[in-house]
C-alpha cells in the first residue's frame, strides 16, 4: 500500500522515513486557511472527535492533546500525574529509564525499576506489588504512585487484553495510576497477540495513554489521551510549560485527522484491512512485513530471540552475519552473547515487500559465501 | 510573493497560517528517502552549513540544533546556561516572564525582572547593571548569569546594531552570558531600525541565540545557534531531555534548508529583495505589509502606540472601533487606556496586499458609519 | 529578662546570638533518653499539643512539623502547595524573591511580584487581584495559586487582624491558597499594630503558616502548621525530600516545647507579660527594646522610615552617622537616598536595656563630635 | 566513656539519643556571644581549621560547609556536581536510592543503579565500568558523571584504603567525579577493615565528601568537604538554595569544633584511643560495643549476615527470637529469609557496656525459655 519510496534500504528503525504521502497531502490541502493557534484549530478538534469515537466516549470525557515527540509526551504526562515525592514504576528496561537522557528525573521524579517477566519482557502484576512493598518505609521511601508501560514493549512483545486487565486491576487495588506509552500502539493493537485489545479498552483501563504518530506514518506527533479528571484539568498548561504546545497546532491535528478518519469508499477495496483507518492499515502493513521477515529467518534456521508480535524483530545470528546485516541493511546489534549476537530489525509503514524480497535473496547469497 | 491563501482574513498573529508553499514542496520532495534520525540527517546538515555561511563561521564553530517550538528553545537554552542558583535577567514584559506557563522556573531558574526603556520597550545596559547591583547580597541573592532578550521585542521594536553592541559589551564586562530569542528574528534583522544588524553580528555578540521558523514561513521549528563552547558541549542532550529532539529531525532540517538556501536564478527577479533567501524575503514581505497598515492608520489620524519597526503594530483607537476591528479582523485589544484602547495587528509572510486593501476600504466605510 | 550576655554589642540582626538559656537547659535536661527519630519523639509531640492548644484545634486537625531553617520551611511549603504550572504571588520585596538564592524557583515555581502598599510595605487585596488579572492569558500564563506573605514584613510592619481577614477573604474568593512566613511571627503577633491577631486567627485564615524559632530564642528551628487537609497529607515526605527532616527531631521538638509551654508559677511575677509562654515573652522584650530605640532616635530629631511595629527599625540619618553606627553597632545601611541614608537596627530576645542605654549615650556623644 | 544515660534501652539505631554531653557543654559555653551569621562565625572557622589539619591542607584548599542533615548534604552535593542531563552512579541499595524520599531526583538527576559485590555489599570498579558502558547510547542515555558511595556502607561494611584507591582511579580514568556519604564516617575510618584509611586519603581520592555528625555524637549536623575547585566555587549558594544554610551557623560550627579539637591533657589517659579527638573516640566506642555484641551472638551459635566492621550488626536468628529482640531492644527485622530472619542491631557513642551485658544476660535467659 505505501507509495514506492526510492531509497528505502534499511531495517534500522521505524522513524528513518518521512511521512505517509496521505499525511503530506492533507497538510498541503489544509495549508491555505487561517486556524486558531495552540491546538484549538478545526483539524485538531476533528482529530479529537475521531479519536473519541474510537474510545467510545464523548469529547467532554477525554482530554486529548497533541505533542511533537514521545519524550515530550512521557515527561509531561508523568509530571502531570505526580506530587513531588511520588515516583513512577517501570520495567528496568523501560524506554523512560535509560533512553530519554534523564527526562523523567529532570521533572523531579524517581523511576522505580521492576524486572520484566522472563521471556516476554513484559510488566506483570507481581512486579508492581513487589515494588510497592519495597517502598513502604515511611517517611523515607519515595511513594510509588504511577505505573508506566509501553505497548508494544521495548522488545516488540505486546500486551494482551487479559494482561492489561490484570495490570489495571492491580493498579486500582494499590491506589496507583496507570499510563501507557503508545509510541508503537498501532502495531501493538493490531497484533494477534493483543487478543482484541482496543483503544476503547485502553481508555477504560488506564488513567492516561498516548497514541504514537511518529512511528506510524506521521511526520511527527503523538496524541495524549487523559481520562482521569483530576489529571486532565488544565493539562494544556503542562504542554505549554514543557515546550510541547505548538503555535501551529494544526500541524499535528491535520495528521491525526488523516490517520484516524474513516476510509473513503474508493480506498476501501476487498481486503479487510483497508476497511479501517489509515493508522491501523499502516500498522497492519508493518506487522505483516515483520512476520514475513521472521518466517524468513526461521525458515533458514535462525532463532528468534523473542516472538514476533509487532514490527520489531530480534534474531540470533553469528557475529559475521550480524556485521554484514549491519552494513547492508543498517540493523543494530542489540545484544552480544557468548556464541552469537542478537540483531534488531524494524519494519514500518514504509517497508516494501520488494525490500523484504531483497533481504531474502541477500540472505541466500550471503550464506553461500559464508558457507 | 506568497501564494494566494483562500481564507486569510485576520491580522491576529503570525502563526495562524500553515507553511509557505515552498516549505511543503520541500517536505514532499525529500520524503522518499531514509535519513539518519535525531538531527543527523542530510537536510539538517545542509541547513547547518547554510546557516554557518551566514554566521561567517565553519560548522565546527557553531552548534546548531533544531527544535519544534520557541518555548522549547527558550527553556532548554536557559537550562543549558545556568548552574542551579543562577538566574536570567529579562525585561519585565519579556516573553519568558508570563507567557510560557512558568517554563523557565520549571527548569529551576529565577527570572530577574528589569523595566524597559520608556517608549521603545527595549532592554538597555543600565537595566542590566541595576539588576546585577540589586543581586549582590551574598550568599542570599540568586546569581544573575544570563541576559535574555527577544528581537523583535514583545512590542515589535527592534534592536539596532549599536544597541546590541552596547548590550553585549555590558554583559561581557559583568561576566554575564547573552542569549537572544529570535522568534521574530527575520523581521527584526530586515527592519530599517536594525541599522544593518546581521546574523554574523548576532553570532559575534551573543553566547547563543535562536532563529525562529514558526513565525516566518515554517510549519514549525526554530534553529538554536550556540557559539559558547562550554554551553555547546553535549547540547543535544538538553534537547533530548526536554523532549525537543525529534526522531524525524529531517522535518525541521528540510524546512530550514529551504528557508536559507540561496535563491535560484529563476526566482531572482529584478527586485533586490528577491536576491536573498526565502527566510528574509518572507520577513521583508511581512515588514512591508506592516508599514502599509501603519501608514493607513496614521493617514486616518490614529496614533501608533509604538513605532512600526517589524510586523507588529500597536494602534490607539476608540473602544467602538476596537470592537469592530476584533470582529472583522481578529485583532487583540492589547491595552485598555482611559480614553481609548490599543489594538495589536500582526502581519506575516502570508498577509496579502489584497487583505490590506480590504482593511483600508473597511476603515473608510466604518468611519462613515461611526461618524 | 534575658541573662546578661557578655558580648552583645550590635543591633545587626536577630540571629547573631545563641539560644535563650532556657532552651539550652531544656536540651540538657532531655538529653539523657532515647527517643523515636524523625519527629516522632515525645518532645515534638508535646510541642504539637501545646501549639494546637494555641490554635484552638485538636492535634488531628493540624499537621505540625519542625524544620531547621526558614528557607527550608518556605521552599517545602510552597512546593507542597503547587502543581508544576502554578505560581506564588508575593510582594516584590518579599523574602523569597531575592534573599533565598532562588530556592522557590529551584522547586520549579514562579514568583509573581506585586508592589507593596505605599508607606507600609504590606500586601493588600488589590495587589493580589491585579496579579490574578494579569495572569489570565490561558494557556500561556503561569497560574497564580498561592499567596505568600511574611508577618512581620521585611520592613518590620505587621498585619492587623482586619487586614489579614481581608487578605484571606480575597484569597478564598479567587481560589488562592494563603501561606504566612512567620520568621518573626512572635514580634508581629505581640505588636500593638496587630490589633489582637492570634495564632488561632492565623490558623483559621490561612492554609498553612510557620512559626519562627530561630529569630525568637531558639538555637534553630521553625514550626510549620498545615490546616489544609490536602496539603497536610503526607507532608512529612516533603520534609524528608528537601533534607529538612532531622533524624534527631527531638532537637527541634524540645525547643518548641520549651517556647510554648505554660509559664511556671515561680516565673509568673506581677507583670502581665510574664504570664505568657517564653515565645511571647521574648517577643515582647524585643518589641519593647525596639520601641525604646525608636523613641531615642525620634527624640533626637531623626525620622523613622517606617513605623516601629516590631523588632526592626529603619531610621534616616546622615551618611557620616550611618558609617559610625555601622562601626560601633554593626547596623546595615538599608537604603541610600539623596540627602541621607536609611539604616536598619534590629533587636532580639537578647538585646539588653544596658545596650540600649549605651546607644543613647553614644548618640549623644557622637552628636557633640559631629556637631 | 559516655555519661550514663538513664533510658538507653534499645539497639535500634544511632540517632535515638541526644548529643554527647561535651557537645552540649560547648553550646552552653559559646552561647553568650554574638557571632557572624550563616557560617561565618568564629566556631565554624575554628572547626574548618581543625578539619583542614586532618585533611592535610590549608583552609584555602578545601571548602568546608556545615549542614543540618545527611539528606541535605547528599542532595545539595549531588546537585552541585551535575549538569541537568548528568546522573549519579550508586549501589542499588544505596542510601540515596530508596531512603530519601526521592531527594536526588527532586534535584533533577537520575540515579544509575549498580549491584554490589556479593557478600560485602560494597561498590567495586567493575560495577562502575559496566554502568558507564550501559549508558553510552548517545544522545539518549543520561550521562554518568558522579559516583556516590557511603562509608560505612548500608550493611555496615567499610572500604579499605586499597579499595578506595581503586575506585578513585576508576573514576578518574572514566572522567567521573567521586563523592562519599560519610553519615557513619567515624566508625568506618576507625574500623580495622579500613586498613588505615584516613580523612587525608579521602580528601586526596574524592572530589567531595561529608563527615557525619548526627550519628557520631552531635545534636545534628554534617560537614561537607569539597576539594574540586569548580564545584567548591560558590558552594554556599547551594546550601542557601536548599534551605541548609543556618542563620545561626554557630550551632553546627561549635559542635564540629568540639568533635575535632585536640584532646586536652586531662582527658588523655593511658588508653591510646583517648589521645584522639572526640569524634574518633566516640567512633571507637561504638565499634567496640558492636564487636562485643557480634562476639556475643557468635559465641551463642548465631550467624552474622555480614562481618562486623563498624557499628551495624546483622544477625540471623529464628523468627521467635527476632520478635522478642524487637520488643525488648527495639531492633529492626532487616530481611525475611526462608528459615530465619536477619535483625539489625546498631550501637552508638551512647551505647553502654552495661546495656551490652544486659543483652548477654537476656539472651541467655531467653534461650532457656525458648528451649
pLDDT per position as a tens digit, B333-357: 999 999 999 999 999 999 999 999 9
- Nearest chain C Cα distance for residue B70, angstroms: 13
Residue C68 to chain A, least CA–CA distance (Å)? 17
The answer to whether the pTM exceeds 0.90 is yes
What integer pLDDT is reported at residue D265 of this predicted model? 61
In this predicted structure, the answer to whether residue B266 has a pLDDT above a threshold of 70 is no
What average pLDDT does the structure give for chain A?
A: 93
CA distance D357 to D346: 15
Q: What is the pLDDT of residue D324?
A: 94
Question: C44, C84, C87, C104: best mutation site toward chain A, by most A Cβ within 10 Å?
Answer: C84
- The count of C-alpha atoms lying within 13 angstroms of the C-alpha of D360, restricted to the half-sphere facing its C-beta, is 15
Chain B residues closer than 8 Å to C102 by CB: 84-87, 108-110, 142
Q: Determine how many CB atoms are found less than 10 A away from the CB of residue B336.
A: 10
Q: CA-nearest residue of chain B to C99?
A: B140
Cα angle for residues C117, C149, A238 (degrees, 5° grid)? 110
| Residue A246 pLDDT | 98
Q: Give the integer Cα–Cα distance in Å for D158 and D312.
A: 11
Angle between helices B125-134 and B161-173 (to 10 degrees): 20
Query: How many angstroms from the chain centroid is the CA of residue C128?
Result: 21
Average pLDDT, chain C: 93
- Set of cell numbers at residue C45: 509531640
- Answer yes or no: do B241 and D79 touch at CB < 8 A: no
Comparison of pLDDT for C306 and D254, the residue scoring more: D254
Closest CA to D150 of D99, D106, D221: D99
Per-position DSSP letters for B27-73, written without gaps between them: HHHHTTB---STT-SHHHHHHHHHHHHHHTS-GGG-EEEEES-HHHH
Element (H, E) at D328: helix D319-329
C-alpha cell at A77: 504526562
Please choose, from the candidates D192, D201, D244, D289, the residue with its C-alpha nearest in 3D space to the C-alpha of residue D74: D244
pLDDT of amino acid B247: 98
A134 pLDDT exceeds 70? yes
pLDDT per residue, tens digit, chain D (371 aa), is: 344 444 568 999 999 999 999 999 999 999 989 999 999 999 999 999 999 999 999 999 999 999 999 999 999 999 999 999 999 999 999 999 999 999 999 999 999 999 999 888 999 999 999 999 999 999 999 999 999 999 999 999 999 999 999 999 999 999 999 999 999 999 999 999 999 999 999 999 999 999 999 999 999 999 999 999 999 999 999 999 999 999 999 999 999 999 999 987 655 444 545 579 999 999 999 999 999 999 999 999 999 998 999 999 999 999 999 999 999 999 999 999 999 999 999 999 999 999 999 999 999 998 766 54
Q: What is the mean pLDDT of residues A352-365?
A: 94
C-alpha B22: how far from its chain's center?
20
CB < 8 Å to D236, chain B: 139
Q: Given this model, what pLDDT does residue A185 score? A: 98
Q: What is the pLDDT of residues B243-254, one digit of tens each?
A: 999 999 999 999
Averaged pLDDT for residues C333-361:
94
Minimum distance, in Å, between the CA of residue A321 and any CA atom of chain C: 50
What's the Cα-to-Cα distance from A178 to each of A153, B38, B203, D118, rounded to whole Å?
A: 15, 29, 47, 35
Q: Strand, helix or coil at B111?
A: strand
Q: How far apart are CA A339 and CA A317, in angstroms?
A: 9
Is C215 in contact with D19 (Cβ distance < 8 A)?
no
How do residues A157-169 score in pLDDT, each as one tens digit?
999 999 999 999 9
Task: Say if CB A300 and CB A363 are below 8 A apart.
Answer: yes
- Report d(CA C133, CA D29) in Å as an integer: 55
| Min Cα–Cα distance to chain C from D331, Å | 13
Q: Looking at the complex, does the CB of residue C335 fall below 8 Å from at least one CB of chain B?
A: no
- Is residue B95's pLDDT more than 80? yes
Kind of pairing between the strands at A341-346 and A332-336 = antiparallel
- Measure the CA angle with vertex C244, ends D256 and D241; round to 5°: 85
Kindly report, residue by residue over C217-275, the tens digit of the pLDDT. 999 999 999 999 999 999 999 999 999 999 999 999 999 999 999 987 655 444 545 57
Query: Which residues in chain B are closer than 8 Å to C88, comparing Cβ atoms?
Result: none
> Using CB atoms, which chains have 3+ pairs under 8 A with A?
B, C, D
Tell which of D16, D29, D34, D347 to mutate to test the C interface (max C CBs under 10 Å).
D34
Q: Which of residues 205-224 of C touch D (CB under 8 A)?
A: 214-215, 219-220
Residues of chain B in contact with residue C140, where contact means CB-CB under 8 angstroms, are 98-101
pLDDT-based confidence at A1, cuts 50/70/90?
Answer: very low
> Rounded to whole angstroms, how far apart are CA atoms D177 and D82?
9
The answer to whether the beta carbons of residues D11 and D294 sit under 8 Å apart is no
3-state secondary structure of A63: strand
Preceding omega of C139 cis (within 30 degrees of 0):
yes
pLDDT for A12 equals 94
Residue A110 in 3-state DSSP?
A: coil
pLDDT tens, A82-132?
999 999 999 999 999 999 999 999 999 999 999 999 888 999 999 999 999
**C10-67 tens-digit pLDDT:** 999 999 999 999 999 999 999 989 999 999 999 999 999 999 999 999 999 999 999 9
**What integer is the mean pLDDT of A190-205?**
98
The Cα–Cα gap between B9 and B17 comes to: 10
State the Cα–Cα distance between residues D225 and D179, nearest whole angstrom: 10
Interface of C with A in 106-165 (CB under 8 A): 107-108, 138-140, 142-143
CB B15 within 8 A of CB A247: yes
Look at residue D366 in the predicted model and tell me its pLDDT: 84
* Residues listed for chain D: 371
Judged on CB neighbours under 10 Å (0-12, 13-18, 19+), A185 is: buried
Q: What percent of chain B has pLDDT over 90?
A: 90
pLDDT at B267 over 70: no
C76-109 pLDDT, tens digit each: 999 999 999 999 999 999 999 999 999 999 999 9
d(CA C60, CA A286): 59
Q: What is the pLDDT of residue B120?
A: 87
Secondary structure percentages of chain B, helix, strand, coil, to 5: 45, 15, 40
> How far is it, in rounded angstroms, from Cα D90 to Cα D88?
6
* Residues A246, A39 contacting (CB under 8 angstroms): yes
Q: Which long-range contacts (CB under 8 A, 24 or more apart) does B124-129 make?
A: B124/B163, B124/B166, B124/B167, B125/B166, B125/B167, B125/B169, B125/B170, B127/B89, B127/B91, B128/B89, B128/B167, B128/B170, B128/B171, B128/B174, B128/B176, B129/B170, B129/B174
pLDDT at residue B39 greater than cutoff 50: yes
Other beta carbons within 10 Å of B228:
17
Closest CA to A346 of A13, A20, A45: A13
**Closest listed residue to residue C70, CA positions, set C183, C152, C155:** C183
Residues 57-96 of C with CB under 8 A from B: 84-87
Flag if C240 and D101 touch (Cβ within 8 Å). Answer: yes
Provide the pLDDT for residue B3: 42
Which pLDDT band, with edges at 50, 70 and 90, does A153 fall under? Answer: very high
The tally of CA atoms less than 13 A away on the side-chain side of residue D295 is 8
DSSP tag of D352: -
H-helix segments, A107-196: 125-134, 161-173, 185-189
DSSP state of D159: -
**How do B222-226 and B208-212 pair as beta strands?**
antiparallel
Question: Could you give the CA distance from residue A158 to residue C240 in angstroms, rounded to a whole number?
Answer: 39
User: pLDDT-based confidence at C2, cuts 50/70/90?
Assistant: very low
| A27/B219 CB distance under 8 A | yes
* SS3 at position C370: helix
Chain C CB within 8 Å of residue D245 CB: yes
Whether D299 contacts chain B with CB within 8 A: no
d(CA D102, CA C242): 9
Dist. CA D303–CA D291, nearest whole Å: 14
Identify the closest residue of chain A to D87 by CA–CA distance: A102
Average pLDDT, chain B: 93
Quote the pLDDT of residue C119: 81
pLDDT for residue C7: 59
ipTM of the complex: 0.94
DSSP E strands, chain B = 63-67, 86-91, 111-114, 143-150, 177-182, 208-212, 222-226, 303-304, 312-317, 332-336, 341-346
Dist. CA B344–CA B356, nearest whole Å: 15
Is the pLDDT assigned to residue B133 strictly greater than 80? yes
Say if CB C150 and CB C184 are below 8 A apart.
yes
In order of start, what are the domains of chain C with their CATH numbers? 21-260 (3.40.640.10), 278-365 (3.90.1150.10)
Residue B114 and residue B130 in contact, taking contact as beta carbons nearer than 8 Å: yes
Among the listed residues A128, A184, A188, the one whose alpha carbon sits nearest the alpha carbon of residue A161: A188
Residues 8 to 27 of B: which have CB under 8 A from any A CB?
8-10, 12-13, 15-19, 21, 24, 27
Amino acid at each position: 500500500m505505501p507509495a514506492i519510496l526510492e531509497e528505502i534500504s534499511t531495517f534500522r528503525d521505524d522513524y528513518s522515513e518521512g511521512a505517509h504521502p496521505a499525511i503530506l497531502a492533507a497538510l498541503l490541502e489544509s495549508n491555505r486557511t487561517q486556524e486558531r493557534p495552540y491546538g484549538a484549530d478545526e483539524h485538531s478538534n476533528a482529530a479529537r472527535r475521531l479519536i473519541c469515537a474510537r474510545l467510545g466516549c464523548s469529547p467532554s470525557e477525554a482530554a486529548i492533546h497533541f505533542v511533537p515527540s514521545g519524550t515530550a509526551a512521557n515527561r509531561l504526562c508523568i509530571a502531570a500525574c505526580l506530587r513531588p515525592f511520588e515516583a513512577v514504576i517501570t520495567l528496568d528496561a523501560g524506554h523512560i529509564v535509560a533512553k530519554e537522557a534523564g527526562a523523567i528525573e529532570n521533572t523531579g521524579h524517581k523511576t522505580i525499576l521492576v524486572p520484566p517477566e522472563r521471556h516476554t519482557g513484559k510488566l506483570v502484576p507481581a512486579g508492581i506489588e513487589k515494588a510497592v512493598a519495597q517502598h513502604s518505609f515511611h517517611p523515607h521511601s519515595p511513594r510509588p504512585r504511577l505505573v508506566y508501560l509501553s505497548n508494544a514493549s521495548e522488545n516488540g512483545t505486546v500486551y494482551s487484553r487479559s494482561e492489561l486487565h490484570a495490570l489495571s486491576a492491580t493498579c486500582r487495588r494499590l491506589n496507583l495510576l496507570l499510563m501507557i506509552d503508545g509510541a508503537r500502539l498501532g502495531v501493538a493493537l493490531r497484533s494477534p497477540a493483543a487478543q482484541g485489545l482496543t483503544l476503547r479498552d485502553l481508555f477504560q483501563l488506564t488513567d492516561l495513554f498516548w497514541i504514537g504518530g511518529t512511528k506510524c506514518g506521521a511526520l511527527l506527533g503523538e496524541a495524549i489521551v487523559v481520562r482521569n479528571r483530576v489529571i486532565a484539568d488544565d493539562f494544556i498548561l503542562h504542554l505549554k510549560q514543557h515546550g510541547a504546545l505548538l503555535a501551529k497546532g494544526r500541524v499535528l491535528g491535520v495528521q491525526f485527522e488523516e490517520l484516524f478518519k474513516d476510509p473513503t469508499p474508493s480506498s476501501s477495496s476487498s481486503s479487510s484491512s483497508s476497511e479501517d483507518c489509515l493508522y491501523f492499515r499502516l500498522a497492519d502493513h508493518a506487522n505483516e512485513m515483520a512476520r514475513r521477515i521472521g518466517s524468513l529467518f526461521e525458515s533458514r534456521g535462525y532463532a528468534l530471540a523473542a516472538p514476533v508480535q509487532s514490527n520489531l524483530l530480534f534474531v540470533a545470528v553469528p557475529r559475521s552475519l550480524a556485521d554484514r546485516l549491519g552494513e547492508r541493511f543498517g540493523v543494530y546489534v542489540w545484544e552480544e552473547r557468548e556464541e552469537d549476537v542478537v540483531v534488531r530489525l524494524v519494519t514500518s509503514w514504509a517497508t516494501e515487500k520488494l525490500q523484504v524480497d531483497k533481504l531474502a535473496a541477500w540472505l541466500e547469497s550471503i550464506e553461500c559465501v559464508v558457507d
